[in-house]
Amino acid sequence: MEILMSKAYNNPALSLEAGCSALSWTTQDGKHLWGRNYDFDRLAEGSGMTFLPRGTSYFGVNGPDGTAFPCTSRYACAGIGLLLKPSPVLYEGINEKGLMGGQLYYRGFAEYAKDCRAGTQPLQPPFLVFHMLAQCASVEEVVRCLEEELTLVDVPMMGTVSPLHWAFHDKSGETIVVEPDKEGLHIYRNTLGVMTNSPGYPWHKMNLLNYAGIRDLDYPSVDLDGESLEQCFSGSGAQGLPGDWSSPARFVRLVFLKKYALPGKDEEEGVGRMFHLFQSAAFPLGLVRVSHKSHVTELDKDVVPYDYTVYTSIYCGESLRAYWTTYENQQIQFLDLAALTERKEPFSIPLGREPVFKNAAPDL
């Protein structure tokens, strides 16, 4: 079936290439959280917290010859993305079964198949998040779908083929990482629950051996040639923890934070504490000046010469809530997917990027 794409759909302005960090965490009472920092120099105009009902018709699976295959979503889902026609795009999100996941930038390593494997349908990479949330109830089903039903193909969308890799997490507690490269599609099971950008997950995992001595406990006094130096500051146990904003440094920091940070006793406390973990990997505006430039057109607004943490989002597999903050507005906002599962119409709401300040003084 030939599909005529809308102007917005064909426009390369909606770049899906960004930095980002992702993390899964579990609260003390067993709530499963997954979230991410979205780090880039812009956010495509029209991006918002987007709800898509079960029964949504879309044509997100597109072949190298330009044909498209009609799909219908099995599950309602919500996440930050775009209500494009004929197929929506989610950068990350959650569905009504508690499956969560998102896409991150994988520059220099991502490669996709030129031809579709026999017995599978071709899929353009930027559609993977929504397609998985729309069709799969669990991480196990995501794995089966990727192995048996789909081929990620090297077909441009919006004028480009975005280099992406993905993480998915569910109420089982497992986080998988999905990475396409010149050797094929790799699905890493039972991962550490941390993901950043290039290089690939196996490299990041091996790199942790360089930081094996880092701990949460301060070191005591130091004896040097008969002289004892008493500690006068805290945090000495973490000496050597990388502090820059590169992908390897952020991966190491988030693994360290996940290992030692105290999880919340419940969802509310857990989400609040998880936002703090993401702040440790966030890009302050002005500190990450980029030399790699991506294509800019009329739909990209407010592009700056820096990557920065445009927003942070966290999802809970049990309550089905989506929480987020933006760079400008640190007040935590949320959408309750559980209250929307019977809704029939999609919608997208702004992220609320305007700063919000609360006057704590009593009325006199």
Supply the residues annotated as catalytic.
20
CA distance 269 to 114: 46
Which one-letter amino acid corresponds to residue 42? R
Q: For 265, which DSSP code?
A: S
Residue 173's region, left for phi above 0, alpha for psi from -120 to 50, else beta, is: left
The b-or-e profile of 141-161 (16+ CB within 10 A means b, else e) is bbbebbeebbbbbbbebbeeb
Query: Which residues lie below 8 Å from residue 100, measured CB to CB, with a gap of 6+?
Result: 32, 34, 92, 93, 94, 168, 169, 170, 315, 317
Are 19 and 307 in contact by the 8 Å Cβ rule? The answer is yes
Which two structure tokens, joined as six digits, stand for 292?
Answer: 């790699």
Helix (H) or strand (E) holding 253: helix 247-260
Give the number of other CB atoms < 10 A from CB of residue 250.
27
Helix axes 139-148, 128-135, angle to 10 degrees: 120
Which one-letter amino acid corresponds to residue 6? S
User: By three-state DSSP, how is residue 138 classified?
Assistant: coil
CA distance 297 to 12: 7
The phi, psi pair for 66, rounded to 5°, reads 90, -5
Which one-letter amino acid corresponds to residue 87? S
User: By three-state DSSP, how is residue 14 classified?
Assistant: coil
Give me the residue label for tokens 């609360």: 358
Whether omega for the bond prior to residue 199 falls within 30 degrees of 0, making it cis, is: yes
The phi, psi pair for 99, rounded to 5°, reads -75, 130
The length of the chain in residues reads 364
Burial of 103 (0-12, 13-18, 19+ CB in 10 A): buried
